[in-house]
A and B are shown apart, each in its own frame.
Chain A
Amino acid sequence: DTGVSQNPRHKITKRGQNVTFRCDPISEHNRLYWYRQTLGQGPEFLTYFQNEAQLEKSRLLSDRFSAERPKGSFSTLEIQRTEQGDSAMYLCASSPGGVQFDEQYFGPGTRLTVT
């Protein structure tokens, strides 16, 4: 399968624990995006990478959140000291870049439940 993959697909954690999610974009896509989707809502933008550079970070991303994309390939999203309000679907997308309106391809998401 050559689509965007995310791991794990589901994560249940206790409040206060740290969690890390991984996203593997489509090969040679140099743009990568993280979104968060809560129940009944559309996705909300979290952050954006162009290759390894994190070019934008939403105000939704508190200091407990950090994202990296070493070497411009896979990306990780870490949440420290999780809170119940962090429970959501975390979606990753990638796009090839290089054209004005390049299409974003979404992964299956990681569903986080904080108990």
Chain B
Amino acid sequence: KNEVEQSPQNLTAQEGEFITINCSYSVGISALHWLQQHPGGGIVSLFMLSSGKKKHGRLIATINIQEKHSSLHITASHPRDSAVYICAVRSGSGGSNYKLTFGKGTLLTVNP
């Protein structure tokens, strides 16, 4: 079993729909990252959070440390949101807290 599990693996939506992508993890973490990867490889960091909720534009990320679960929401989805969304957790302590363990990603396709 992977340490980081994402669901769904694939998601197709119509423009304007509210999107939720889920991430569950099985290890103790110090922080959780949501990343976006477009075709061709480039990865962009969307959020880094260790508690509560963060919002940036139409994107909202939440985390529940007790339940070891995080969600990424996209409001009013748009075709340009089409990408792979990856959850990654930062574990380890002190000087070794740099290591990221990644989920397999969720492929989101938003149709016009």
The answer on a CB contact under 8 Å between B43 and A106 is yes
CB of B111 within 8 Å of the partner chain: no
Complex Cα distance A9/B54, Å?
Answer: 33
Tell me which residues across on chain B come within 8 A of A100, comparing CB atoms. Answer: 30, 97
CB of B45 within 8 Å of the partner chain: yes
Nearest CB of A to B22, in Å: 15
Query: Given A101-B30, A101-B31, A101-B50, do A108 and B41 touch, yes or no (CB 8 Å)?
Result: yes
Chain A: CB-nearest residue to B107 = A40
| B104 in complex: contacting residue of A40, A56, A89, A101, CB < 8 Å | A40
CB of B99 within 8 Å of the partner chain: yes
The answer on a CB contact under 8 Å between A41 and B45 is no
The answer on a CB contact under 8 Å between B50 and A106 is no
Tell me which residues across on chain A come within 8 A of B90, comparing CB atoms. Answer: 101
The answer on a CB contact under 8 Å between A108 and B42 is yes
Give the size range of A's interface with the partner: 20 to 34
The answer on a CB contact under 8 Å between A104 and B42 is no
CB of B102 within 8 Å of the partner chain: yes
Complex Cα distance A106/B88, Å?
Answer: 13
The answer on a CB contact under 8 Å between B103 and A31 is no
| B100 in complex: contacting residue of A37, A40, A45, CB < 8 Å | A45
CB of B57 within 8 Å of the partner chain: no
Cβ contacts A29-47/B at 8 Å (1 or 0 each) = 0010100010011111100
Where the two chains meet, the residues of B that have a C-beta atom closer than 8 Å to any C-beta of A are 4, 30-31, 33, 35, 40-45, 48, 50, 86, 88, 90, 96-105
Instruction: Kindly list 4 other residue pairs between chains A and B, CB separation below 8 angstroms, not including A31-B98, A42-B88, A108-B42.
Output: A37-B41, A40-B104, A95-B98, A108-B40
